Amino acid sequence: MTSPAPVVLAFLDPAYPDGRVADASKPQLLVTDLGVTRGDGVFETMLAVGGTVRKMQAHLDRLAGSAAALDLEIPDQQAWRRVIAAAVARHRLENPPADPAADELVVKLVVTRGVEGAPTPTAWVQATPAGAAGRRQRETGIDVILLDRGYDSDVADRAPWLLLGAKTLSYAVNMAALRHAHKQGADDVIFFSSDGRVLEGPTSTVLLAHVEKSDDGTTVKRLITPQLDSGILAGTSQGALFAAAKAAGWELGYGPLEPRDLMDADAVWLISSVRLLAPVNRIDGKEIGTPALQKELTAELGELFAGIQ
């Protein structure tokens, strides 16, 4: 067994503008914290490359949006930025990256509603080295299965208490869906709605691409993702990649998508902040797209995505 990965942990605390640094290997939370007793809180997972957090503003904005959906008052963005910067700097100082090509830190932001009856949330930043599993899946691709999410694609607007656009700590269903996939020998899941629309992965956004020759002989590349109002999480990675792809001449499209649209695509990916762009090789055992085109498109989009801040 290898030694545990070095962690830097810092709580947001007005008395410590750069964060109250704490030992992550020691208990830091009360058992009565509503984060654990009720999964009542929100989080973000970000990637820092070479010491710089990617898409910081998009993550902070989504954290604020998730908190608003839960009526949760959280520290302001200036406070987060200071603690994040200090935590990343401390991690790199204490654990100088040996391999510049693998200089990646996972930076997690968590806010819980705090201890029952207490007036303040519990909020922290945690920085850990990125694992090898994500990098491997980017390169080899993944097999996914389709699973019913149980909700119809109109419910998010109708029933805001279902918190469908919020990234909450209540991820038990997402974790159960992943276990279900692993038992079947698959790596990941794409959820569909009860009315048959493609939604999202448990921890990622779905993308697909079509490459067509237009009438005048030029090649048209189109990048498509499910529409946001189907109750999915707004993907910070999808948003950033779409902007970069548009600038590079891609056409963009937004659902509704059905499972057969995935089957008919030239390539499908699950995109997320840490694993980045993971090409989908098979869905429910069926091969997707053509390997050569998938590889080419993955390389092109991967380069675009690597270039964003």
The binding site for its own copies (CB under 8 A) comprises 7, 9, 24-41, 43, 69-71, 108, 110, 112, 124, 126, 147-152, 155, 158-163, 166, 168-177, 179-180, 194
The rounded distance, in Å, linking the Cα atoms of 203 and 53 is 19
Nearer to its own copies, 157 or 264 (CB): 157
Least Cβ distance, residue 168 to its own copies (angstroms): 4
The rounded distance, in Å, linking the Cα atoms of 240 and 307 is 10
The rounded distance, in Å, linking the Cα atoms of 231 and 56 is 23
Least Cβ distance, residue 283 to its own copies (angstroms): 17
> Encoding tokens for residue 89?
């700097």
Pairing of strands 188-192, 142-148: parallel
Least Cβ distance, residue 125 to its own copies (angstroms): 10
Q: Among 205, 198, 255, which residue's Cα sits nearest to residue 227?
A: 255
Q: Which amino acid is located at 262 in the chain? A: L
Nearer to its own copies, 42 or 85 (CB): 42
Nearer to its own copies, 10 or 208 (CB): 10
Q: Which amino acid is located at 134 in the chain? A: G
Least Cβ distance, residue 78 to its own copies (angstroms): 23
| Residues ≥6 apart with Cβ < 8 Å to 268 | 206, 207, 208, 209, 262, 279, 280, 283, 288, 289
Least Cβ distance, residue 37 to its own copies (angstroms): 7
Nearer to its own copies, 184 or 309 (CB): 184
